Amino acid sequence: MHPVLVGREWRPANAVGEFSAHDPNTGESLDEKFPISDWVDCDLALTASAAAAEELDLTPPDSIAEFLESYAQKIDDAAQDLSELASRETGLPVSPRLLEVEVPRTNGQLRQAAAAARSGVWREPVHDESSDLHTCYGPLGPVMIFGPNNFPFAFNAISGGDFAAAIAAGNPVIAKAHPDHPGTTRMLAELAHAAASEAGLPDATVQLLYGMGPDDGLRMVGDQRLSAISFTGSRPSGMKLKAAAEAGGVLAYLEMSSVNPVFFLPGALREEGSKLAQELAGSCLLGTGQFCTCPNLCVLVAGDDCDHWLSEVSTAMADREPGVLLSIATLRSLERSVAALAAAGASVVTGGARLDAPGYRYQNTLLSCTGETFLASPSALQSEAFGPATLAVVAADEEQAVSIARAIEGSLTACIYSATDGSDDQLSSSLMTVLRRKAGRLLNDKMPTGVAVSPAMNHGGPFPATGHPGFTAVGMPAAIRRFAKLDCYDAVRPERLPACLRTPA
C-alpha cells in the first residue's frame, strides 16, 4: 500500500481501509493500493500544516516562485509518464488531451502563479500616510484542496489552479487525492515534494492524503487549524463539506453544479442553423461531456426552424462515437440525472441509456421539453447531467424565453447566439440583462467549453455554480485572493511592515 505524505516525509498510513483506481475502458481494478487514513493521519497533517504556515510567513516570495517554477519543469520532464498513468486511471487519451493540452495548461498556471508570487501583484498595497494606515493582502493559512475527477492535472488537488493559487499566497496545502486517479496524484506529489525541498520551503508546505472516512473528512474540514478548503465536484458533496467547514469557521470555496445555458435565437437558427447544431453537439460531447462548462441546457423559440433544428442536433449527437466516462460513479450519476429529467417532464429525443459495452459508457443523449413544462418544474429540470447529455427547452415565444432565463439557477456560463442582421437584437438585449446576474461568464456566439487561462477570465458564478460569486478559480492574480486575508497595519514602524508596504506606492 502506498504511503501518505505527512509532515516532512512519506510515511506508512494509519489505514482503516484501502482502495484502487479502475480502468474506465474495461471497468477492471488497477493493481496499486492506496490507504484510507484514520484520524491520526488527519491530525498529524493538520498540526504540521499549521506549523508550516508560520514558517512560510518568513519565506521570501522568490523561494515560493522558485518552487512553483521548478515543479512545473519537473512535470514537463515527466509529462509522458504522467500522461500514460493518468490515461490508465481516467480513460482520457494521452494525445492530444493529456500530453499536448492539459499538461501545458497545468504548467502555465504554475508559472503564472510563480510570476504573481514574485511580483506581489496579488497583495494590492494601499497607504494612508496621514493616518499612518497601511493595508495589503497576506497569506490566509493552511488550505485543504479537494480536486475533481475530470482534470487529473489542471485541477488536481496537488498541481491544479487552486494549488498554485494557495501556494503563491504563501499558504501550505493539504491535498486530498481524488479516488479516480490516485496514482497520478501520487506521482505529482513526489515531484512537488522534491521541488519544495530543493527550494528550501518549510516541511509540510505540501502534504497528501488519499482518503479518509466520511466522519473524519467532515471533522477535518471544520478543524480550526485550517483556514480554508477548496472543492470541485458534485453539489451534494460540496454542500456537506461547506456546512462542516463553516461550522468550524473555515472558509469554503466551492465549484459545484452548472447547467451553462445556451440560448439560440430565431434569427441565428435561420442564418446558420446546421452549423450551430454541430457546434452544440461538439460542445456537449467534448471530453464525453465531462467538462464543468459543457452546456446542459439550451433554449430556443418555437417556430418553423425549431423542429428541423432539433432533428439536426439529434442526428449530430447520434452520429458521434460515445466516449468513455471517468468512473462507475459518473455513469451511475448520469443515469440518475437522465431519469430525474424524464420524471420531471422531459422526453428523450435520442440516447438515454447505458451502452452494452466494456467499461463505463453511455449513449449521447438529447432530451427536450416545452417552456411551459420547464417553468412548472425549473429546479428538477436543472439537474446537472454530468456526461454526454443536454436538455433542449422550446419556449412558446420570446416572452417565455425571457421567463425561462429568469428561472435558471446560478451558472458558470451563459451564452446567446443571435442573428447578424439585427433581427434578434431586442430579445438578445433582454436576455443579457437577465443572464448577466445568472452567470460568471457571458458569451455571445461562442460555446462555453473553453476556459482560457487569462487574468481576465472568470471561472466562477452565483450559487450553485460556486459558493461565492465574487471569486474565480482560473486567472492570476484574482484566483490567488481566495486564499488571502486583508491585513491592516496601524502605526506600525516602517521596518516592521511587510516588504510590499515599506515603500509607499
**Residues noted as catalytic:** 255, 292
Give the integer Cα–Cα distance in Å for 23 and 66: 36
What is the separation of C-alpha 36 from the centre of its chain, rounded to a whole number of angstroms? 24
Give the integer Cα–Cα distance in Å for 222 and 219: 5
Give the integer Cα–Cα distance in Å for 34 and 328: 18
Please name the amino acid found at residue 307.
D
CB contact at 8 A, 299 and 395: yes
3-state secondary structure of 26: coil
3-state secondary structure of 73: helix
Q: What is the DSSP string of 314-328?
A: HHHHHTSPP-B-S-H
- Report helix angle 214-221 to 39-56, nearest 10: 20
Please name the amino acid found at residue 355.
L
CB contact at 8 A, 408 and 415: no
Beta-strand pair 484-490/439-444:
unpaired
Give the integer Cα–Cα distance in Å for 204 and 202: 6
Give the integer Cα–Cα distance in Å for 153 and 66: 20
CB contact at 8 A, 88 and 23: yes
Output the CA torsion 303→304→306→310 (10° steps). 160
Q: Residue 325 has which C-alpha cell?
A: 466516462
Q: What is the DSSP string of 399-445?
A: HHHHHHHHHPPPEEEEEEE--TTSTTHHHHHHHHHHHTTTEEEEEES
What is the separation of C-alpha 50 from the centre of its chain, rounded to a whole number of angstroms? 26
Q: Residue 38 has which C-alpha cell?
A: 484514520
Q: Residue 385 has which C-alpha cell?
A: 447531467
Give the integer Cα–Cα distance in Å for 453 and 475: 6
Question: In terms of C-beta density within 10 A (0-12 exposed, 13-18 middle, 19 or more buried), how is residue 440 classed?
Answer: buried
Sheet with 347-350, strands from edge to edge, namely: 347-350, 365-370, 389-395, 297-301, 262-264, 411-417, 439-444
Give the integer Cα–Cα distance in Å for 421 and 298: 22
CB atoms < 10 A from the CB of 499, how many?
12
Which residue in the block uniquely carries the three cell numbers 491544479?
160
